[in-house]
Amino acid sequence: MTTSQFLSLEWKQFRRSSFFEKGLAIKILMILAALYFAAIAIFAGIGVFFIFKKALPDQDPFSMINNYMIYWVLGDLGLRYFMQQLPVMNIKPMLLLPVRRKSVIQFLLLKTSFSFFNILPLLFFIPLSIVLIVQGYNPVMIVGWFVGVLSISFSINFLNFILNKNSKAFYVVISILALSVGLQYYGIFDITPFTGVFFNSLYELGYTILIPLFTVVFLFKMNYRLLRNNFYIDGAVKAKKEKFRNYNLEFLNRFGTLATFLKNDVKMITRNARPKQVLMMSFLFLFYGLIFYTQDTYKNMPVFLAFASIFVTGGFLITFGQLVPSWDSEYYKLMMSQNVSYKKYLESKWLLMALACVVSFILSTPYIYFGWDIYAMIAAGASFNIGLNSFITLYGGALNRVPVELNQKAKAFSNTQGFNPTQLLISLPKILGPMLIFYVPYKLISFNAGIIALTLSGILGLTFKSYFLSFIEKTYQKTKYKTIAAFSEKK
Amino acid sequence: MESIIDVQNLSKSYNGDKVLNIEHLTIPKGQSFGLVGNNGAGKTTFFSLLLDLILPTKGHIENKGIVVSQSEDWKPYTSSFIDESFLIGYLTAEEYFYFIGDLRNTSKAEVDELLAEFQDFFYGEILNQKKYLRDLSKGNQKKAGIVAALIGNPEVVILDEPFANLDPTTQIRLKKIIKELSVKKNVTILVSSHDLMHVTEVCERVVVLDKGELVKDIHTSEATLKELELYFER
């Protein structure tokens, strides 16, 4: 099999991927999003030199950039663990064809080089290198430095696959990252000058680029060997089986008839890759407030604080809820032909979301550090989330007919579930609603009035719970056949 | 005999292509009913219509007097196993059985009692496996799905291709189970299959579909297998 045949297969896979079968509006949005990230990378590449120059005029901006490179390396590794997947599954049909394993594996590994995660650093480092050359740094030495950095980027790429799904390595990387950022922030120990020596040497000494060059070749070879030895259907090609875990969920029985669904959902979340990812994401949402509460700019714009407060407690509620029948898409026909009451089903999902909101609220207690006003706002946000946001999100989910592959992690840019026009329309009240509910009484009366209004909106919503659930139930019934058909479509 | 499934002027088309067209079909209570036909004959379409998973283009199906697309009251006494999308992959077999039991108002003890009857059928490969259903082999998944369809004393049981993917021992056991259900418990059981021998052995009545049309309706006798083989040889 020749490279051109491989390329033609790849092209077909690309052309026929679900991306091109989506509506025009989504395509435009996705292209815009990709352009947005690309533009950010390019502008950051151009701007980073001048930012350092302005911030620390007495230092060489280039060596400062080199000092901070270590955070890029660690952050990139962490991000890739989350998002990047080795495309092994596609090689299964190749096993039986008269193709040399060597060429399949080499092609596979080279293919990973063209992932979004390798293109983004290019978009950042090329403009940066040009800026450096324009600023009078030695062009030849900059090219050497660029090659070194590029090799590091690809080393990260291949290292990620060797570590693939090894969560211990991930936690080590993340802890080192958090620890060094923390130590530097509080002025205890700054790691960056030490690692900066190496990145600087790529420019100043030049010959040290041999280190990353050798690393990337070594890691490529290692990946190759790893895949070569596991190139069997019970090896690397096989989807990973998870060890069986059981927990006692009897305590959920207190929720009576809802317990059946609740217990099932807890198992669904803990035993599948995709919902686990959502769980992790919603944990990160807890820290969303830090972005807003630490900035003085937002102190005088409490509307934005209200916005942030919704996300502090609403992470799980939003990310889980927007996919609410989709989570059960793999066995939706069972649910539809079994003796299932939609209302009970919905109520149990709502209860799960509300419980998650309460847990998030308890975990958000440290925000008291930023003052009781902030904490009161988080509490009001939690109330809005439980009483109103939950129902809006569930309604949005009912209109969202995208099947979810439970045990498959979402890939970067393939997570377009929340990305159709109806979803966008539905998310407007989620975002603008709380801001408006807070803003009007805040402007007219006082800060506290805004908080009370937001809290009351949630309580009011809660009193209409039964009505809301019936309304969503009707949507379910109306769209039943469409949903079944959409869920049984293979991706 | 009292009828339980009643099909009236049923037809289903996709973009003008008729995939199923049954003018009239009645299945009496307690009958074991076999559906055969080549690929694309409309077997799964018929079962999907019966379970209200798709909407008929014309006509309707009544299940014990209830029009299936208008009310959900047929669900408590009807159960089915069509394909793997009826399994919940991340549960163990036991967890799945208890979940179905919960939905059908059957206690854990009652489910256990039922499972005990199927020890032979399971062949020690389903229960206490510490494995999720998604990690079981196709055949074992099927066993779990079929038994789950028998939880909660259903009056109507629908099984699509139950014999496919099963090993010979299990096929023989399944045939016994189906016969017993129909004879002893008066359960109406609808089975589709590509295997003419299995169907004629297990069903009192065999209906042949061809390109969506009902072409044969036979009360099973000694001669049925020959007749079917002749028909399909064309």
Q: What is the pLDDT at residue A88?
A: 56
pLDDT interval class at A85 (50, 70, 90): low
In chain A, whose CA is at the least distance from the CA of B95?
A264
Whether A459 shows a pLDDT value over 90: the answer reads: yes
In chain A, which residues have their Cβ closer than 8 Å to the Cβ of B153?
none
pTM of the model: 0.76
Query: Across the A/B interface, how many CB contacts are shorter than 8 Å?
Result: 75
Q: What Rg, from alpha-carbon coordinates, does chain A have?
A: 26
**ipTM of the predicted assembly exceeds 0.85:** yes
Given CB atoms, is B19 within the 8 Å cutoff of chain A?
A: no
- Whether B130 and A406 lie within 8 Å, measured CB to CB: no
Buried/exposed code over A7-44 (b: 16+ C-beta within 10 A; e: otherwise): eeeeeeeeeeeeeeebeeebeebbeeeeeebeeebeee
Give the one of A244, A337, A406 whose C-beta lies nearest to B80's C-beta: A337
Among the listed residues B35, B54, B50, the one whose alpha carbon sits nearest the alpha carbon of residue B5: B50
Considering only A31-40, A122-131, A415-424, which range has the smallest mean pLDDT? A415-424
Q: What is the pLDDT at residue A418?
A: 44
DSSP A369: G
pLDDT tens-digit readout, A179-209: 888 888 887 888 788 888 888 888 888 888 8
CA pair distance B232, B38, nearest whole angstrom: 9
Whether A273 shows a pLDDT value over 60: the answer reads: yes
In chain A, whose CA is at the least distance from the CA of B132?
A244
Alpha-carbon A67 to chain mean position: 27
pLDDT interval class at A412 (50, 70, 90): very low
In chain A, which residues have their Cβ closer than 8 Å to the Cβ of B55?
481
pLDDT tens-digit readout, B35-60: 999 988 999 999 999 999 999 999 99
Given CB atoms, is B76 within the 8 Å cutoff of chain A?
A: yes
Whether A87 shows a pLDDT value over 50: the answer reads: yes
Whether A417 shows a pLDDT value over 50: the answer reads: no
pLDDT interval class at B6 (50, 70, 90): very high
In chain B, which residues have their Cβ closer than 8 Å to the Cβ of A484?
53-54
Q: Kindly report the average pLDDT of chain A as a whole number.
A: 82
- Whether B90 and A271 lie within 8 Å, measured CB to CB: yes
Identify the residue with better confidence: A229 or A284: A284
In chain B, which residues have their Cβ closer than 8 Å to the Cβ of A406?
89-90
> What is the mean predicted confidence (pLDDT) over A221-231?
81
- Whether A338 and B75 lie within 8 Å, measured CB to CB: yes
> What is the mean predicted confidence (pLDDT) over A257-275?
89
> What is the mean predicted confidence (pLDDT) over A391-417?
73
Among the listed residues A393, A263, A372, the one whose alpha carbon sits nearest the alpha carbon of residue A319: A393
Whether A243 shows a pLDDT value over 50: the answer reads: yes
Considering only A37-41, A228-232, B72-76, B100-104, which range has the smallest mean pLDDT? A228-232
Q: What is the pLDDT at residue A23?
A: 59
Given CB atoms, is B53 within the 8 Å cutoff of chain A?
A: yes
Q: What is the pLDDT at residue B80?
A: 94
How many separate domains does chain B show? 1
In chain B, whose CA is at the least distance from the CA of A488?
B85
> What is the mean predicted confidence (pLDDT) over A380-403?
89
Burial of A229 (0-12, 13-18, 19+ CB in 10 A): exposed
pLDDT interval class at A25 (50, 70, 90): low
- Whether A337 and B52 lie within 8 Å, measured CB to CB: yes
pLDDT interval class at A409 (50, 70, 90): low
Shortest Cα distance from B102 to chain A (angstroms)? 7
In chain A, which residues have their Cβ closer than 8 Å to the Cβ of B87?
331, 334
CA pair distance A409, A364, nearest whole angstrom: 27
In chain A, which residues have their Cβ closer than 8 Å to the Cβ of B63?
none
Q: Across chain A, how many H-helices and E-strands are there?
A: 23, 0
Q: What is the pLDDT at residue B109?
A: 93
Q: What is the pLDDT at residue A447?
A: 87
CA distances from B200 to A12, B169, B191 (A): 46, 18, 11
In chain A, which residues have their Cβ closer than 8 Å to the Cβ of B75?
337-340
Among the listed residues A387, A409, A172, A156, the one whose alpha carbon sits nearest the alpha carbon of residue A279: A409
Q: What is the pLDDT at residue B34?
A: 95
Q: In this prediction, what percent of chain A has a pLDDT beyond 90?
A: 17
Q: What is the pLDDT at residue A402?
A: 79
Contact call for residues A302 and A442 (beta carbons, < 8 A): yes
CA pair distance B168, B13, nearest whole angstrom: 37
Contact call for residues A391 and A461 (beta carbons, < 8 A): yes
Q: What is the pLDDT at residue A178?
A: 83
> What is the mean predicted confidence (pLDDT) over A79-108?
72
Given CB atoms, is A338 within the 8 Å cutoff of chain B?
A: yes
Given CB atoms, is B63 within the 8 Å cutoff of chain A?
A: no
Given CB atoms, is B78 within the 8 Å cutoff of chain A?
A: yes
Residue from B132, B135, B158, B159 to probe the interface with A (highest A Cβ count within 10 Å): B132
Among the listed residues B126, B7, B116, B10, the one whose alpha carbon sits nearest the alpha carbon of residue B63: B7
Whether A24 shows a pLDDT value over 70: the answer reads: no
In chain A, which residues have their Cβ closer than 8 Å to the Cβ of B85?
330-334, 488
Identify the residue with better confidence: A219 or A89: A219
Contact call for residues B95 and A270 (beta carbons, < 8 A): no
In chain A, which residues have their Cβ closer than 8 Å to the Cβ of B105?
339
> What is the mean predicted confidence (pLDDT) over B88-97?
92
- Whether A260 and B102 lie within 8 Å, measured CB to CB: yes
Give the one of A268, A272, A331 whose C-beta lies nearest to B85's C-beta: A331
Shortest Cα distance from B117 to chain A (angstroms)? 23
Shortest Cα distance from A349 to chain B (angstroms)? 16
Burial of A191 (0-12, 13-18, 19+ CB in 10 A): middle
Whether B79 shows a pLDDT value over 80: the answer reads: yes
Give the one of A339, A407, A484 whose C-beta lies nearest to B104's C-beta: A339
pLDDT tens-digit readout, A312-355: 999 899 889 888 888 999 999 999 988 888 888 999 999 999 99
pLDDT interval class at A413 (50, 70, 90): very low
Whether A285 shows a pLDDT value over 70: the answer reads: yes
Query: For the domain that residue B175 is a member of, what is the CATH number?
Result: 3.40.50.300
Among the listed residues A437, A402, A235, A238, the one whose alpha carbon sits nearest the alpha carbon of residue A327: A402
